[in-house]
Chain A
Amino acid sequence: MESNQLYQEVILDHNKKPRNWGKLADASHKAEGLNPLCGDHIWVSLKLDDERVENIAFEGEGCAICKASSSMMTTNVKGKTVVEAEQLVREFRDMATGKLDIGGAPNHLGRLTVFAGVRDLPSRVKCAILPWHTLHAALHSESVVSTEGDQDPVAAAS
């Protein structure tokens, strides 16, 4: 695993200039996500309209992988139905944990496959998954999620 594979231009760009940064004043759903092992801490807020993600935003502190994953999640999920968004959550988690072979199996990840390399870096998997885990929680009206303990998304995926 070389950094020029993981720290690609698109990830560095989203880290430096995160899209959809902030909190939605008119959010219908929101959640706070924590990665206590490395201190990543984000808030995801979104507005659903007729089971479709009309708007979504995030803010917080985290490493480049976490911030870029959050930013690219917002651009990918905006306009999608809840069912489509949940499918992306599952596919992203499975890609990051190495369960989904992005070359072989059909999927909807598109540019999000730039994060595939984290599967070789177990200590960084949760940095990439945190925003998706938080989005899932927001859609299920849970207010806070953690990547550790009984909410561990990696343990749940294995």
Chain B
Amino acid sequence: MNSAASTAIQAVKPAGALDVNRIRADFPILNLEINGRPLAYLDNAASSQMPKQVIDRLVRYQTSEHANIHRAVHALSEKATAEYEGARRKIRRFINAKEEREVVYTRGTTSSVNLVMQGYGRAFLSAGDEVIVSQLEHHSNIVPWQMLCEEKGAKLRVIPCNDAGELLLDDYAKIFNSCTKFVAIAHVSNALGTINPVKDMIATAHRHGVPVLVDGAQAVPHMKVDVQDLDCDFYAFSGHKMCGPTGIGILYGKAQLLEKMKPFEGGGDMILSVSFEKTTYNAIPHKFEAGTPPIAAAIGLGAAVEYLESVGLDRIAAHEHDLLTYATEAFTQLKGARIVGTARNKAAVLSFTLQGVHPHDVGTILNEDGVAVRTGHHCAQPVMQRFGIPATARASFYLYNTFAEVDVLVEGIRRVQKIFG
């Protein structure tokens, strides 16, 4: 693509729009060269990069604040505890949870979903019950429910989607019956980018008295999420896709549901008292945080939240939307390229196939141009089956990506097509 097009897009940007060069200066890793070419990191749906504000926060914690939390009376332990709980306050505000105790630290989205499956599903579902998931789910929001269904003799029901990758809401409404006990749906599809109308879908479920878990791993990093406005019962997301560290994630849950749930893991910190006759569990959220948690990662996630707020989620979303529009336009003009997932309401994910070229070959050749994309089934094999393909290549954008990087991607694809011509 020519630079005139990107200049045109930038020229019409409103005042107060995101300054991508200033943003990029915050991310040391973006200065890397891969195979002698500047890194174009377009694999943000898998994991995002970390700004120096978060890196510095981790260093500060490790060099001057670390001790175990909720344990000792000494100064460092008090400091670490205060920072760990302080991060929880920031995260509560970020997603607008009503109370801090509704914010549970986990290892990531997968462990958040599993916590609900173990703590809620195993306690409250029984033979003949039904769990609804969608065609667009990541394996981590399918497999736990399959395991539950197998154990309980319950049934998994699937919301179908159309050829654009949009869920069929009329079909969804018809799946509900007296056996429906739980709904687990993605806010944004990781494989296609579809933004599902979860607020309406939650309202539908609630009309049937059914609680809903939303997998928000691909939503929270990119758009303003308000769990009270959505009225979701559970909401799961990961730190490492939103400029934070790996190994930390969040499960938001309505307090009355979390209180009803059984703890998933037993151990230290999740108890009030232990004797061989009886153990009394701690209050939420600590009931679900057995053992020493990833303290540094939690504090790092708090710093990531502050960073994203300082940039502004609305500006991030607007910038990503411009990148997606620009890339989609370029791909539409590429002969032999097919965009998989063309929902009207779409996040900045561009999944595609090239006629006659396997996605893995695309990924290997783009890597030589310094372009990092994901290739494969994206842990969403039912999505691939729906579209009759084994795999796609996927470019996914974030706040630090540029129009010039989209140009490099498109040039790389032309080179792939030339090699396989």
Binding site for B on A (CB under 8 A): 1-3, 6-7, 12, 15-16, 37-39, 41, 61-66, 121, 123-124, 127
Contacts and interface: CB of A to CB of B under 8 A. Distances in A.
A38 B360 contact: yes
B376 A37 contact: yes
Most buried by B among A2, A6, A64, A66: A64
Contact of B364 (A3, A39, A66): A3
Given A38-B391, A39-B390, A61-B390, A7 B377 contact: no
A65 B377 CA distance: 18
Q: Top 10 nearest A-B pairs by Cβ distance?
A: A39-B390, A63-B358, A63-B360, A64-B361, A3-B365, A39-B391, A63-B361, A38-B360, A3-B368, A7-B419
B408 to A, nearest CB: 16
Nearest to A121: B364
B375 interface: yes
A6 B364 contact: yes
Contacts, number: 45
Contacts of B365: 3, 7
Contacts of B357: 64
Contacts of B358: 62-64, 66
A3 B368 CA distance: 7
Contacts of A12: 419-420
Nearest to A6: B364
A39 B419 contact: no
Interface of B: 35, 357-361, 364-365, 368, 375-377, 384, 390-391, 419-420
A27 to B, nearest CB: 25
A106 B8 CA distance: 60
Contacts of A64: 357-358, 361, 420
A38 B364 CA distance: 13
B419 A3 contact: yes
B419 A127 contact: no
Nearest to A118: B364
A131 B409 CA distance: 31
Contacts of A3: 364-365, 368, 419
Contacts of B384: 39
Most buried by B among A39, A66, A124: A39
B5 to A, nearest CB: 27
